Amino acid sequence: MRRPIFAANWKLHKNRGEAAAYVRELLPRVAGMDGVEIVLAPPFTALDAVATALAGSAVALAAQNVHPAASGAFTGEVAPGMLADLGCRFAIVGHSERRALFGETDAGVASKAAALLAAGLRPIVCIGETLEQRDADQTFDVLRTQLAGSLAGLPRNRARDLVLAYEPVWAIGTGRSATPEMAQEAHAFVRECLVAQFGEAGAEIQIQYGGSVKPENAAALMAQPDIDGALVGGAGLEAESFSKIIHFEAQEGSS
């Protein structure tokens, strides 16, 4: 049985005070929600403040990136063990913004994911096609290639520690979500690939949908059999809207 997992990716937003205020607002809204995993991914500079504010709660902390080395001459980078030391249990790797703006490759994502697993953290591995690729009917080919490269060499016995995030690039930050049917079709394909690589453990890997998830469309997306939660950008910046997504609160006039 896969537990739904909801992660708010704050990207380059919030200083320490704003981050702590968000946590104070979120925690009462999600109290007692034991059936779901809730994850906050602040910028590196707010990780410590969020860890402190989350102390004693079941909400988990994530980084938005990591360097695969444990230590060394890598100016500006942060190692998996440093994230663990701050209380991180997850890190996002391969977000489309990092792939598009910072040259992140599938092989680089795989080495980050392996390093996170070795340090006891769970990688949230992002994949997804661009609009041009979807329009050219290349979605499944793109997903197959990204999965093969981004998960290459990861140990089968750690498959259950992985989280996948299917995020069609054209739906990120655009207000234009995939329809539940489109998302389910992609998730079912990702699931097939995961089972092919990891055997029956692949069926237990949580697959999040990401791309303009909001309170109005969360319920319909989460009703799909292979959608196990969401990676949320814009609507994750407010505790109120993020908690509504976690509660799957379909709003009147939902799309």
Contacts with ligand PEP by CB under 6 A lie at 9, 167, 172-173, 210-213, 231-235
For ligand PEP, the closer of residues 81 and 173 by Cβ is: 173
Of the candidates 67, 95, 97, 216, the residue annotated as catalytic is 95
| Minimum distance from residue 184 beta carbon to ligand PEP (Å) | 17
Of the candidates 97, 104, 129, 167, the residue annotated as catalytic is 167
The rounded radius of gyration (Å) of the Cα atoms in the chain is 17
Cβ proximity of 221 and 180 under 8 Å: yes
Number of residues that this document lists for the chain = 255
Any long-range contacts for 55-61 (C-beta under 8 Å, 24+ apart)? 57/27, 58/34, 59/23, 59/26, 59/27, 59/30, 60/89, 60/90, 61/86, 61/87, 61/88, 61/89, 61/90
For ligand PEP, the closer of residues 8 and 147 by Cβ is: 8
Largest CA distance in the chain: 54
Pick from 61, 17, 11, 65: which is nearest to 38 by CA? Answer: 61
Q: Which amino acid is at 67?
A: H
Pick from 165, 169, 186: which is nearest to 6 by CA? Answer: 165
| Minimum distance from residue 153 beta carbon to ligand PEP (Å) | 25
* Residue that the structure tokens 């001459």 belong to: 73
Rounded Cα distance between 126 and 96, Å, is 7
In this chain, which residue has its C-beta nearest to ligand PEP? Answer: 233
Tokens at 181, concatenated: 């049917």
For ligand PEP, the closer of residues 91 and 213 by Cβ is: 213
Rounded Cα distance between 62 and 8, Å, is 9
Active site residue 95: yes
For ligand PEP, the closer of residues 82 and 239 by Cβ is: 239
| Minimum distance from residue 222 beta carbon to ligand PEP (Å) | 14
For ligand PEP, the closer of residues 130 and 197 by Cβ is: 130
Catalytic residue annotation: 95, 167
